[in-house]
Amino acid sequence: MSDSEDKPVVNGLVALVAVAVVVGLLAGIAAIIGTKVLGVGGGGGGSDDPAAGDSLVMPDPERTTRASDPLITLEPSDDEESESAAASETASEETTRKPRKPKAEITLSQGAFQVSPGEDLYLSGIYPQGEGAVLDVQIRVNDGAWADFPVDVNVSDATFSTYVNTSQTGEIEWRVVDSDRKLKSNAIKVTYGG
């Protein structure tokens, strides 16, 4: 009996490793040839020319200016439309006058017109001249008196937003107030309950 016949397990493992190496080499060669034929892979050259195979060219960064206008736009109310009509009639008169500072106003809008009692209501708005102001939220239930609600909201980038939640039912109105400047927003009405 020879030594190779005495160790069949070792012989099988050697044959298995040899076959795996040959199959791996053939698969690697096929992959390399396939990428060359199909044109898949890097540009190959070290050139800085975008036509040399680069598929993405990043522009040089440039400084931008920050917008001074509010980042959101609200639909104008009927009052604003009549004001714009009156403003266009007197536009010729204003060209001779010194430009006026824009009127400070707070515009409030709501996320829903009807919610369930205890459900969060999203309030947001714009206050162009109120950067850094802290606004008090006020509530009025069923045409009662206005009362402070235990929520304050900060103005940043001429905008503000908060959530309010009440278990009251009926027609409830919300507004925000800048106590320092004695300015009030428009009131929005929300129906609580069905």
Q: Is the pLDDT of residue 129 over 80?
A: yes
Q: Read off the pLDDT of residues 97-107 as tens digits, 9 standing for 90 and up.
A: 555 666 679 99
* pLDDT at res. 95: 52
Q: Domain spans of the chain? A: 7-35, 106-192
Q: Is the pLDDT of residue 27 over 70?
A: yes
Domain at 106-192: CATH code:
2.60.40.10
Q: Read off the pLDDT of residues 42-86 as tens digits, 9 standing for 90 and up.
A: 655 555 555 555 577 778 888 877 777 666 666 666 655 555 555
* pLDDT at res. 21: 96
What is the band of 130 on the pLDDT scale with cuts at 50, 70, 90?
Answer: confident
User: Could you tell me which residues are beta bridge partners of residue 177?
Assistant: 136, 184
Q: Read off the pLDDT of residues 151-167 as tens digits, 9 standing for 90 and up.
A: 999 999 999 999 999 99
This prediction has a pTM of 0.48
